[in-house]
Amino acid sequence: MAVQDVFDPSGIAVVGASDTPGKMGYEAVQNAIEFDGPAYPVNPAASGSVFGREFVDSVGAIDGPVDLALVCVPAPVVPSVIAECGEAGIGGAVIFAGGFAEAGADGEQLQDELVAAATEGENEVDLLGPNTSGFLVPDESLYATFATGIETVPAGNLAIVAQSGGLAYSLAFQAENRGIGVSAMVGLGNRATVGFGEAIAYFDGDDRTDAILLHVEGSDDARGLLETCRAVETPVLAYNVGEEDVGDFAESHTGALTGRYELYEAGFAQYGVPTVRSTAELLDGGRALATCPRPDGPNVGVVTAQAGPGIAIADRLKAAGATLPSLDPETQAVIEDILPGITFSANPVDTGRPMPAFGDVVAAVARDDTIDIVLVYELYEGGIGYPTETLEELVSAVDKPIVFATGGPDDTLDETLPELEALGVPTYRTPEAGADAVAALVRAAKRTRTPDTVRDGTEVSR
Amino acid sequence: MAVQDVFDPSGIAVVGASDTPGKMGYEAVQNAIEFDGPAYPVNPAASGSVFGREFVDSVGAIDGPVDLALVCVPAPVVPSVIAECGEAGIGGAVIFAGGFAEAGADGEQLQDELVAAATEGENEVDLLGPNTSGFLVPDESLYATFATGIETVPAGNLAIVAQSGGLAYSLAFQAENRGIGVSAMVGLGNRATVGFGEAIAYFDGDDRTDAILLHVEGSDDARGLLETCRAVETPVLAYNVGEEDVGDFAESHTGALTGRYELYEAGFAQYGVPTVRSTAELLDGGRALATCPRPDGPNVGVVTAQAGPGIAIADRLKAAGATLPSLDPETQAVIEDILPGITFSANPVDTGRPMPAFGDVVAAVARDDTIDIVLVYELYEGGIGYPTETLEELVSAVDKPIVFATGGPDDTLDETLPELEALGVPTYRTPEAGADAVAALVRAAKRTRTPDTVRDGTEVSR
């Protein structure tokens, strides 16, 4: 797969490298040298070195393995740079400049020239962008961007694939602030050749990635996007923006028409790709999809130690299409045995307040065959804490998602919740965030892949 | 106003006080003694002291000013305790026990007895609860609850009035974790005599309170709630739960029927009470309402340094009923002057990336008479920072809400955002949180109070 040259290069060239702080070509070199492989600053007009690396005159003059060029030159020069990259055997390029398809007729023509330069030479060049802020692979210290302050984004198992570079960074910083690691963060920009389809397929094959999070503004490669979502094995979750008509602002952004919102929503629903309504929800749902086994169905068992949050959760789950079935009578009997006169033993189960037997109630619900997904809500109470041991047993005993939502002072939660996370129980700090994560699992349960058919290119109507 | 005895007591009695750690009557005393006024443990069966306070045999035997009783005795004993309180001239009580109207026919009868005891004696007693976890007034160190770990909830200007005590605590801890202060946090529970109407009216007259945040599960005093919302001056924001039928779980909770969701939504909309969809949104919107001047209309001007988040914001605002009008041609000319060839100069205004002139663009939009509310989005970029000085000037020069949303590593934001907050610019850390806060302002702009009519008790149809 050629996009490998983009996302997994052996070496990097920064074209338009600069030794002037603040310039894009300077920031890009500063980021590139963090990479575990070699990085070369390229600029025929520069001499000497930057960050200890000698300037090279052209990509053809680089003496070493290079698959990826970070292109920091102005738009008009980009096509010729890409042609040189192709001649030099560089198979991937990130193009930061704007002024292409998003910028009217002249820009569209320039983008056509760019694609021709990338595809018509002896060696093809895969293009991320133009009009992108690039990508990150934290585990490789690969920061293919001119943005600063991104080295602290932690490595993890979520791949963020965003149409907008700015939104990608908004997601990456949110992830960092919440201690959520990413396998990659990609801003697609204008998608000259690397679009959603290529990126999703690539990260589906990436060992570090356990869930793929999309930000979609109404891409023009709807077909590629939806078909790839159907074909891949890795769970995919989408933040689909563009419900309302925001005029020509969106088109001016990454050269895509919005207004296909309903098409995407329907397509995603059909292929079991849950959609969310915000960046925060995208990360919340992504963590659940990446952590939990895929549920067998939409039946959620809710156990709460406080009724009010339990009602908010049940309300939100039902609105999202989840089912809260009555528990098996045997389960209800077990619960009544554990807590005679329990406040409410149907579903949600409400224990009234945290108590030592809370974990036993959770276990009874988790072991009920009617239930596909368990959502627990319990405000933190000192002296009682969380039913960690029970949850640990359950995670290995029942092959179902177990999701935990809570509230309390952050210092308490910071200390206790990582334990649960380490067991494979995703944790959330508001009732609604827990419900939204479970809603993503519910919708993902509908997923029915038909990968072979799709890989043949045959259309299947269902 | 009699509920003053509940929320602003001169002294507190804890009835059913205990010296056994873990018991409700112990935790309640531990909280009560934090209060700036006197606190008396009452228990005829106990002797000696607890936390250095001598046990008293009965509320009648207390030698000192007491307006509020924290009632920690089991349900069947509560009516007689309340009768004693009335005889002793104690005008307010918080009743923690469950087993009243939420618990079937017997419980309903007990609650009737309780109300009779509170209202039929010589002195009336206002009842918060039963079936509540109480309330907090952090600024007075008044912790009328058995819950632990709540002394760290900071004092501030938001009054949380929740039907559910559990949800109230979930909100209070979220507020604490985000550095948001509350003037009060109240769990209403069964609302035997103190309901939404009484609490909202009280906090409308409270100098510390600049916005009132409601959690409503489908109260049975719909009329009182909605009429009070119309009458009060303080901005009100509501989290209305119960869109979906969650069966008899909700009714088993605080003795209220849900299923009135649409009634409330319509009523709130009519009276300019914005509604939200989550606890996090309630706090976000509440901060905007408490901080900003009331906008003249729904016209939002969005200035963004990154297009993707700007599109997400515009989409969300439009879905929430906001208008993003074209800027005045003069404003557009000013912006084109500041940034010739600007990426997008309509509305949203997109500067492409953060830059020194960003503040000038914000100022041009804020000074446009077409615009009622300004929402700024800018990812943090070191070396450029935020247009703090410009925002400071604008806050005093234009009498409009100015809301700021951003992203970046928390340590950077923790350092820079409090400056903006101090200027009267509420700040948010995701694009959607900023949009939701502005959506609350937009809906609040519709508010048309008719206090005199309502206080007469005359119904007005509009």
pLDDT tens for A408-426 read 999 999 999 999 999 999 9
3-class state of residue A88 by DSSP: coil
How much of chain B exceeds pLDDT 90, in percent?
A: 81
Cβ <8 Å between A243 and B315: yes
Query: Which residues of A are less than 8 Å from B167 in CB distance?
Result: 306, 308-309, 312, 431
The 10 Å CB-count burial string (b at 16+, else e) for A200-210 is: bbbbbebebbb
What is the average pLDDT score of chain A?
91
Beta bridge partners of A439: none
Contact A217 B311 (CB under 8 A): yes
Q: Identify the burial level of A339 via C-beta atoms within 10 angstroms of its C-beta, where 0-12 means exposed, 13-18 middle and 19 or more buried.
A: middle
What's residue A266's pLDDT? 85
Q: What is the mean pLDDT of residues A135-144?
A: 98
CB contact under 8 A, A311 and B247: no
Selecting from B254, B383, B408 the residue whose C-beta is nearest the C-beta of A173 gives B408
Residues of A with Cβ-Cβ distance to B412 under 8 angstroms? 149
CA angle B163, B166, B171 (to 5 degrees): 85
Q: What are phi and psi of B362, to 5 degrees?
A: -60, -45
CB atoms within 10 A of CB A299: 20
| Confidence label for B454 from pLDDT (cuts 50, 70 and 90) | very low
Burial B181-220 (b: 16+ CB within 10 A, else e): bbbbbbbbbbbbbbbbbbbbbbbbebebbbbbbbbbbbbb
> What is the distance in angstroms between the Cα of A145 and the nearest Cα belonging to chain B?
14
Does any CB of chain A come closer than 8 Å to the CB of residue B341? no
* Count of H-run helices and E-run strands, chain A: 17, 19
Q: Are A335 and A305 in contact (CB under 8 A)?
A: no
Do A306 and B170 count as a contact with CB atoms less than 8 A apart? yes
pLDDT at position A256 = 54
Lowest mean per-residue pLDDT among A301-315, A343-357, B95-109:
A343-357
**A149, A243, A306 member nearest B409 (Cβ):** A149
In this prediction, residue B340 carries a pLDDT of 86
Indicate the average pLDDT of chain B.
Answer: 91
pLDDT over 80 at A343, yes or no: no
Q: Could you tell me how many residues make up chain A?
A: 462
The predicted structure's pLDDT at residue A441: 97
Q: Would you say residue B134 has pLDDT above 50?
A: yes
Considering only CB atoms, A314 lies closest to which of B246, B324, B343, namely B246
pLDDT tens digits for range A205-261: 999 999 999 999 877 677 788 889 989 999 999 999 987 776 666 666 665 544 577
Closest by CA position to B219, among listed B161, B174, B172, B150: B161
- Helix H segments across B36-187? 78-87, 104-119, 165-177
CA distance B264 to B243: 10
Residue B267: predicted pLDDT: 86
Residue type, B315: D
The interface residues of chain B toward chain A in range 420-449, judged by CB-CB distance below 8 A, are 429-433
- The token duo for B10 is 């001169």
- A352 at interface of B, judged by CB pairs closer than 8 A: yes
Residue type, B336: E
Q: Identify the pLDDT of residue B92.
A: 98
Which pLDDT value is given to residue B223?
A: 77
Give me the residue label for tokens 């209220």: B256
Contact A280 B430 (CB under 8 A): yes
Other CB atoms within 10 A of residue A177 CB: 18
Q: Is B311 on the interface with A (CB under 8 A)?
A: yes
List, in order, residues 6 or more apart from A416 with CB less than 8 Å away.
A380, A385, A386, A388
The whole-angstrom distance between residue B100's C-alpha and the CA centroid of its chain comes to 26
Exposed e or buried b per residue across B14-37, where buried means at least 16 C-beta atoms within 10 angstroms of its C-beta: bbbbbbeeeebbbbbbbbbbebeb
- What domains sit in chain B, N to C, each tagged with a CATH number? 4-131 (3.40.50.720), 139-291 (3.40.50.261), 300-444 (3.40.50.261)
User: What confidence tier does B256 reach under pLDDT thresholds 50, 70, 90?
Assistant: low
Question: Half-sphere exposure of residue B243, counting CA atoms within 13 Å on the CB side?
Answer: 18
CB contact under 8 A, A252 and B350: yes
Which residue of B167, B176, B352 is in closest CB contact with A312? B167
Q: A447 is written with which tokens?
A: 């997923």
Place of tokens 């041991």: A389
- Whether the Cβ atoms of residue B303 and residue B332 lie closer than 8 Å to each other: no
Rounded to 10 deg, the angle between the A279-291 and A431-444 helix axes is: 60
Tens-place pLDDT, residues B284-315 = 999 999 999 999 999 999 999 999 999 999 99
Q: Between B22, B278, B310, which is nearest A432 by CB?
A: B278
* Chain B interface test: which of A167, A318, A406, A429 (most B C-beta within 10 Å): A167
Residue A462 has pLDDT above 90, yes or no: no
For residues B125-146, give the mean pLDDT: 97
Is the Cβ of A412 closer than 8 Å to some Cβ of chain B? yes
Check CB contact under 8 Å for B308 and A168.
Answer: yes
Predicted confidence at residue B162, as pLDDT, reads 97
Contact criterion met (CB below 8 Å) for B38 and B11: yes
Task: Collect all residues of chain B within an 8 Å Cβ-Cβ radius of residue A349.
Answer: none
Q: Comparing A14-18, A288-292, A333-337, which segment has the lowest mean pLDDT?
A: A333-337
Q: What is the mean pLDDT of residues A281-308?
A: 96
pLDDT for the residue B159 = 98
pLDDT band at A352 (very low <50, low <70, confident <90, very high): confident
> What is the pLDDT confidence band of residue A382, given thresholds at 50, 70 and 90?
confident
When pLDDT is averaged across residues B454-461 and rounded to a whole number, the result is 38
pLDDT of residue A286: 98
Which positions ≥6 away from A447 have C-beta within 8 Å?
A235, A271, A272, A273, A294
Task: Please report how the helices B388-397 and B358-366 are oriented relative to each other, as an axis angle in degrees rounded to 10.
Answer: 10
> For residue B250, which residues of chain A lie inside 8 Å, CB to CB?
311
Q: Report the percentage of chain A scoring pLDDT > 90.
A: 81
Instruction: For residue B175, give Cα distances in angstroms to A408, B155, B158, B159, B162.
Output: 10, 10, 10, 11, 14
Please report the pLDDT score of residue A247 as a whole number.
63
Contacts of B324 in chain A (CB under 8 A): 246
Mutual angle of helices A165-177 and B307-319, in 10-degree steps? 80
Count of helices and strands (H, E) across chain B: 17, 19
Burial class (CB in 10 A: 0-12, 13-18, 19+), A266: exposed
What residues of chain A lie within 8 A of the CB of B431, using their CB?
167, 170, 279
B193, pLDDT greater than 70: yes
Greater pLDDT, B256 or A404: A404
CA angle A209, A215, A221 (to 5 degrees): 100
User: Mean of the pLDDT values across residues B213-231?
Assistant: 86
Please enumerate in sequence order all residues whose Cβ is within 8 A of that of A408, keeping only pairs 6 or more positions apart, or say none. A379, A380, B149, B173
**Burial category of B297 from C-beta neighbours within 10 Å (exposed 0-12, middle 13-18, buried 19 and up):** middle
Res. B432: pLDDT tops 60: yes
d(CA B197, CA B199): 6
> Does the beta carbon of B352 lie under 8 angstroms from any beta carbon of chain A?
yes
From the list A265, A379, A263, the residue with the least C-alpha distance to A321 is A265
Rg for chain B, CA atoms, rounded: 25
> Over the stretch A69-93, which tens digit does the pLDDT of each residue have?
999 999 999 999 999 999 999 999 9
Partner residue facing B382 (CB), from A149, A243, A305: A149
The CA-CA-CA angle for residues A219, A223, A229, to 5°, reads 90
Closest-CA residue in chain A for B345?
Answer: A249
Instruction: Sort B169 into a burial class: Cβ within 10 Å, 0-12 / 13-18 / 19+.
Output: buried
Looking at the complex, report in whole angstroms how far the Cα of residue B88 sits from the nearest Cα belonging to chain A.
32
**B22, B217, B249 member nearest A346 (Cβ):** B249
Give the model's confidence band at A455: pLDDT under 50 very low, under 70 low, under 90 confident, else very high: very low
Most B CBs within 10 A among A244, A332, A412, hence the mutation to make, goes to: A244
Q: How many CB atoms lie within 10 A of CB A112?
A: 14
Residue A407 in contact with partner chain B when CB distance is under 8 A:
yes
Q: How crowded is residue B299: how many other Cβ atoms within 10 Å of its Cβ? A: 20
Amino acid at A289: L
Q: Measuring CA to CA, which residue among B130, B116, B60, B128 is closest to residue B90?
A: B60
